[in-house]
Structure 1
Amino acid sequence: MKFDTAYYESVIDQHRYERLGLGAIDFALAGMSPDDLRTKWMCHTGAREFAEAVADGRPAIVTTGVGLGGPPHAGTLFQLLRAIKLQQCGLDVQIVLGDLDSYNARRTPLDSVRKLADRYEEFVLALGFDAERGVLRRQEGQTDVLATAFLLSRHLNDEDFHWAEEDLAGLYRNHGVFDDLSYGMKQATLLMAADFVHLLREGRHVLVSLGVDEHKYVALARRGAERWGLPADHLSGIYTKMIPGLGGLPKMSKSIPGSGIDAAMCAEDIRALLRADPDTAPTDDGSALLQMYACLPEVDGREYDRVSAARQAGNQQWHTEREQLIERTLSLFSHWPK
């Protein structure tokens, strides 16, 4: 599977998602224009209604989460930066560290998960997330959310979990990450859905920010919420493009060795890998470096268009931007506790 323009078109058409920044969008979100939004997200479900709720002053929150399968790779880093950007724009934001997700789905020992969660917490705060204005939490110990997961499970069945497998499941199987959808993986998916639905139960409008390969997780949560009798239309999703992986792989992933760069690598190795990227993809979607650049909080629609044009022209400006991006990435990764 390739996360290219054809894939994005297929996802949008199949699931009737709306495009962001391609003319069909007619709303801003927390001061971000449609052009700004399209630099960091590519499609959504219900984001217009969420934006209206924010504008009307109704209770609203953005939530995202990261898996704890190892040190953060580029995809994880830039997902976190998107959440921080939304917080900087004035939105309430929650970041969930998926410790029980890793414990159940990956069968990681609990002591190891807890130590990794400590490091992730320090990393997120060092990147600029304000825990006093938002929520940075783990799954372990959140008994109220665990109770929501138990109540939600009544409204979901085995077929729902098989339907909701992310689009990269086949790739992960091919690389030996897992063989089938185990009971532990279903439990991890249920708890992820509960992370969303619990906020809905509290009477808020909820916007979930995830990679587009994970779009079915929001649909699963909406399905369960609707069956439960909760206002499922108050649960929205906004989805990011994938950062293409190295070596022809579709995505930088912690689960696939060699697919990308991560915070545990030394600076010289990261520089060498990024400088060696030929960056010959004909479209912006296929450029790992350009997609990384797009996710920086300071990059808006105008800056993205400027750098995209420089890349297409292959001029010195793009080479300069590449070098600056590499050094910026190293600076961000340097916050990871060694």
Structure 2
Amino acid sequence: MTAATSPINSTVQPISRLVHDRLGPLARRFSHEDGAVGVLPADLSDLEVVTGFGPTNAPTAGTLSVMIGIIELQQRLGVPMTVIVSELGAWNSRNVAWEDLLRVRDQMLSFLRAIGFDDNRGELRTHLHEGNLTRAGRIARYLTPADLAENCEDLNDLYDSHGLLGGEVGLTVDSLYTVADILGPAENGARNILMVSGMEEAYFTQLARIVLERQRTAGDLSLGWEAEVGAVYFRVIGGLGGYPKMSKSIPASAIHLGMNADDLRARILSDAPADQPALFSAIDLASGWGDAQIRAARSSYDARDADPITWAQVKSDYLDTFVEYADQWKRCAR
């Protein structure tokens, strides 16, 4: 992650004890925080949560882990939550056909509800949303090209090398939409915003803070927003074959819900040494298994060299679980 050179410095750090206590058992899903203590009051009053997904392809195990995590977070915190499936942002930042984005978007919305997202306690929406498009236009005046150059995704070079990255203007548009997503609660009067995402999206936290700070000091051009933004970042599931993460944009790195059972079997039951850490991370974070079953899986993973048969059985059990999620994903297709 590239630190901003604005007056608002990055404060990304490992999850603190205070945030750990306030998130309870869910804290195990997160590796780092950025100002989360300041927006997580003990009584969770005046807090809104924002997160989102790009519909470029069927969810990988990494994306599934985040989906499971936000549903658990919704259940634990009981505060307003907005989840955005960002088809318009993805159209500008990735080289994916529009019809494919719409198809995956609708499937993703249905899948999130199917695995437990509660519409009565949160909002699922897309980037085709008049309020967010207007908000993106209003915040653009507070950002400069230098801000966007200094706060961007670390994996952009990797995506670009695979021919997946959109153009410079498109990336700017995507950033404006996403920062507008984060600041939606501020426009509605919220004082505390918790952004929940992967660490590769930490730069959006910085951009949102730049907007908040500059509009506060803009005099007659201020928006009057008084919110604070904090963030917690999900643990990353490493990619198969040594890739830094499971990415839906790099198929060789991932298992995903659109794969057929035979392909999932080949990848999840892989014996390749480079694949094993990623497979355990997927089991740990993207299974929905209970604590006891996860502990047993960890023991088997740690002892895999001495007892490969037990570890192979754990992976076989996970194959069954992942195929169940994949079947649910297929049932959610329009």
User: Does the 8 A contact of 2:14 with 2:31 survive in 1?
Assistant: yes
Distance 1:125 1:201, change over 3 A: same
The answer for unaligned runs of 5 or more in structure 2 is: 2-8, 217-224
The answer for unaligned runs of 5 or more in structure 1 is: 4-13
Instruction: Pick which of 195-204 and 103-112 moved more.
Output: 103-112
Pairing 1:133-148 to 2, within 5 Å after superposition: 133-140=121-128, 142-148=129-135
1:98 Cα deviation from its structure 2 partner = 0.6
State the match for 2:36 in structure 1: 47
Listed one character per residue, the Cα deviations across residues 22-48 of structure 1 (whole Å, up to 9, x for unaligned) are xx4234466624xx413x110001222
State the match for 1:10 in structure 2: none
Distance 1:305 1:196, change over 3 A: same
User: Does the 8 A contact of 1:45 with 1:237 survive in 2?
Assistant: yes
User: Does the 8 A contact of 1:84 with 1:128 survive in 2?
Assistant: yes
Pairing 1:1-338 to 2, within 5 Å after superposition: 15-20=10-15, 24-28=16-20, 32-33=24-25, 36-38=26-28, 40-52=29-41, 55-91=42-78, 92-106=80-94, 108-140=96-128, 142-178=129-165, 181-204=167-190, 205-229=192-216, 230-231=225-226, 234-279=228-273, 287-296=277-286, 298=288, 307-314=297-304, 315=307, 317-337=310-330, 338=333
Sequence identity, in percent?
27
Amino acid at match of 1:59: D
1:210 Cα deviation from its structure 2 partner = 1.1
Amino acid at match of 1:293: I
1:93 Cα deviation from its structure 2 partner = 2.3
What TM-score, normalized by structure 2, do the two folds share? 0.84
SS in 2 for 1:251: coil
1:320 Cα deviation from its structure 2 partner = 3.5
Counterparts of 2:329 and 2:110 in 1: how far apart (Å)?
8
Distance 1:107 1:249, change over 3 A: closer
Amino acid at match of 2:203: K
Amino acid at match of 1:47: A
Listed one character per residue, the Cα deviations across residues 72-109 of structure 1 (whole Å, up to 9, x for unaligned) are 22222111111111112143322100111122223545
1:280 Cα deviation from its structure 2 partner = 5.4
Listed one character per residue, the Cα deviations across residues 209-250 of structure 1 (whole Å, up to 9, x for unaligned) are 111122111111111121112445x21111122211122211
1:111 Cα deviation from its structure 2 partner = 4.0
Counterparts of 1:182 and 1:201 in 2: how far apart (Å)?
28
Counterparts of 1:243 and 1:171 in 2: how far apart (Å)?
17
Give the alignment's Cα RMSD to 1 decimal: 2.6
Distance 1:85 1:279, change over 3 A: farther
Instruction: Pick which of 323-332 and 209-218 moved more.
Output: 323-332
Instruction: Pick which of 170-179 and 312-321 moved more.
Output: 312-321
